[in-house]
């Protein structure tokens, strides 16, 4: 049984496989007229959100409700947190309320891990700072596997702001764990610092600054959001130059092999990392990811809270 879901780094290929296989079965529930099973009846899941989020929070809420768990939503705004309550005191309060799982989104890297020191509940990281967003990575893997039938040996190019992105970090690690060949593409300023020397050892991935050279050898093009504020911080000179060198437009899409898929964790910046017409081409996968998001999160909750018979294989820290 897995104690907490904090980082993709903690998951073995076998464990990821179990999540994805379980999600496949659970996805069927979303197609039924009554989208609910009693599996987690009597369990309480708390969504503890220190950062604004619509899609992830709703996705977790629906996932928990479809498994019949009781759900509490606790957001930093308009709660004791806005009155200055510390993370620890909030944790102790939830502990006293006897919640079974805490789904936490936090602006600080590491906050979910800190939470595990103060509560007995299972902690699920729904995104922390620049660090990790493991369920998003699992959703993306599920979508890719559904489309391509397998993950091992797939050539994946992740393009954009890889340094400030918890999604990128999680997806890349998960894909590498599953045997995909990953290339990180972007300006050196937005790649992890000093990693030019150690990309393979640390990330299990190759680095490139030349998108056009990578595209023809790509099965999955994974685009990351580039925040406009990074320009003000001099990570690159202008949006225009960024788009010219690393943005994806229709011409670049044409360089991809025919069966390649384009993914974006959203929300998209049209005209920055992706042009408007290319975005429409990518959109079909994105809406699919919403439905898959619920199924994969149901799978995680089920495997973590469903009792011994549903347990994930034992954690093997790599």
Partner 1 sequence: MSGFTFVGVRLVDPAGGRDETTNVAVDGDRVVAVGAGHRGARIDGAGLVCAPGFVDLHVHLREPGGEDAETIASGTAAAAAGGFTAVCPMANTDPVCDHAGVVEQVLRLARDAARCDVHPVGAVTRGLAGEELAELGAMAAVGVRCFSDDGRPVRSAQVMRRALLYARTWDGIVCNHAEEASLTEDAQMNEGDLSALLGLAGWPHEAEEIMVARDLILAHGVGARLHVPHVSTAGTVALIRAAKARGTRVTAEATPHHFTLAEDQARSYDPVYKVNPPLRSKDDLEAVREGLADGTIDAIATDHAPHPPESKEQEWSQAPPGMLGLETALALTMTSLVRPGVLSLQAAVAALSTNPARCRDIGGHGGPVEPGAAANLVVFDPARPWTVDPAALRSRSRNTPYAGMEVVGKVVHTVLHGRFTLRDEQLTGLS
CB of 87 or CB of 260, closer to partner 1: 87
CB of 192 or CB of 271, closer to partner 1: 192
From 133, 145, 164, 230, active-site residue: 133
> What contacts 79, CB < 8 A, 6 or more positions away?
85
CB of 82 or CB of 284, closer to partner 1: 82
Tell me, by CB under 8 A, how many residues bind partner 1.
26
CB of 184 or CB of 278, closer to partner 1: 184
Q: At what angle do helices 13-27 and 134-148 cross, to 10 degrees?
A: 70
Query: What letter does residue 123 receive in the DSSP assignment?
Result: E
Q: Could you tell me which residues are beta bridge partners of residue 181? A: 155
> What contacts 67, CB < 8 A, 6 or more positions away?
36, 37, 39, 40, 298, 301, 302
Q: In whole angstroms, how close is the CB of 17 to partner 1 at the nearest point?
A: 23
Q: In whole angstroms, how close is the CB of 282 to partner 1 at the nearest point?
A: 26
Catalytic site includes residue 135: no
Q: Which of 235, 260, 251, 213 is nearest to 164 (CA)?
A: 235
CB of 196 or CB of 280, closer to partner 1: 196
Q: Which of residues 90-109 bind partner 1 (CB under 8 A)?
A: 106, 108-109
User: Using the rule CB under 8 A, is 80 a contact of partner 1?
Assistant: no
Query: What region does 202 belong to: left with phi over 0, alpha with psi -120 to 50, or beta?
Result: alpha
CB of 17 or CB of 110, closer to partner 1: 110
Using the rule CB under 8 A, which residue among 87, 94, 119, 300 binds partner 1? 87
φ/ψ of 101, rounded to 5, equals: -145, 145
Q: Could you tell me which residues are beta bridge partners of residue 159? A: 185, 223
Cα gap 284→266, rounded to integer Å = 13
Query: Segment contacting partner 1 (CB under 8 A): 60-68, 81-89, 180-188, 303-311?
Result: 81-89
- Please, are residues 297 and 125 in contact by the beta-carbon 8 Å criterion? no
Using the rule CB under 8 A, which residue among 195, 275, 292, 299 binds partner 1? 195
Using the rule CB under 8 A, which residue among 28, 80, 189, 202 binds partner 1? 202
Question: CA angle at residue 128 from 318 to 197, to 5 degrees?
Answer: 55
Q: In whole angstroms, how close is the CB of 164 to partner 1 at the nearest point?
A: 8
Using the rule CB under 8 A, which residue among 78, 98, 149, 193 binds partner 1? 193
Catalytic site includes residue 55: yes
Using the rule CB under 8 A, which residue among 111, 144, 285, 303 binds partner 1? 111
Cα gap 222→147, rounded to integer Å = 14
Query: What region does 110 belong to: left with phi over 0, alpha with psi -120 to 50, or beta?
Result: left
Question: How many alpha carbons fall within 13 Å on the CB side of residue 20?
Answer: 25
CB of 56 or CB of 132, closer to partner 1: 132
Q: Which of 295, 239, 243, 288 is nearest to 266 (CA)?
A: 288
| Cβ neighbours of 176 (radius 10 Å) | 17
Residues 9-28 as x/- pattern, contact with partner 1 by CB under 8 A: x-------------------
Query: Segment contacting partner 1 (CB under 8 A): 192-200, 210-218, 279-287, 298-306?
Result: 192-200
Q: Which of residues 112-171 bind partner 1 (CB under 8 A)?
A: 113-114, 128-132, 163, 166, 169
Contact footprint for partner 1 (CB under 8 A): 9, 86-88, 106, 108-111, 113-114, 128-132, 163, 166, 169, 192-195, 198, 201-202
């Amino acid at each position: 049984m897995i104690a907490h879901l904090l980082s993709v780094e903690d998951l073995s290929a076998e464990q990821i496989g179990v999540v994805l296989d379980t999600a496949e079965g659970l996805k069927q529930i979303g197609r039924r007229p009554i989208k609910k099973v009693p599996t987690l009846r009597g369990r309480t899941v708390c969504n503890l959100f220190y950062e604004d989020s619509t899609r992830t929070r709703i996705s977790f809420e629906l996932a928990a409700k479809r498994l019949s768990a009781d759900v509490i939503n606790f957001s930093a705004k308009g709660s004791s947190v806005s009155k200055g309550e510390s993370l620890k005191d909030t944790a102790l309060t939830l502990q006293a309320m006897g919640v079974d799982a805490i789904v936490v989104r936090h602006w600080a890297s590491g906050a979910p891990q800190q939470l595990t020191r103060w509560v007995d509940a299972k902690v699920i990281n729904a995104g922390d700072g620049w660090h990790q967003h493991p369920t998003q990575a699992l959703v993306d893997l599920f979508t890719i596997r559904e489309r391509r039938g397998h993950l091992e040996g797939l050539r994946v190019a992740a393009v954009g702001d890889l340094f400030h992105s918890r999604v990128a970090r999680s997806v890349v690690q998960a894909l590498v764990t599953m045997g995909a060949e990953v290339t990180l593409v972007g300006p050196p300023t937005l790649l992890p610092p000093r990693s030019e020397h150690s990309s393979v050892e640390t990330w299990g991935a190759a680095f490139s600054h030349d998108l056009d050279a990578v595209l023809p050898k790509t099965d999955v093009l994974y685009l990351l959001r580039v925040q406009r504020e990074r320009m003000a911080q001099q990570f690159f000179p202008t949006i225009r130059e960024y788009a010219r060198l690393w943005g994806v437009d229709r011409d670049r899409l044409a360089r991809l092999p025919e069966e390649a898929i384009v993914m974006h964790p959203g929300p998209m910046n049209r005209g920055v990392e992706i042009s408007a017409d290319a975005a429409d081409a990518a959109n079909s996968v994105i809406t699919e990811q919403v439905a898959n998001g619920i199924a994969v999160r149901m799978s995680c909750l089920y495997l973590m809270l469903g009792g011994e018979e549903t347990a994930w294989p034992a954690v093997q820290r790599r």
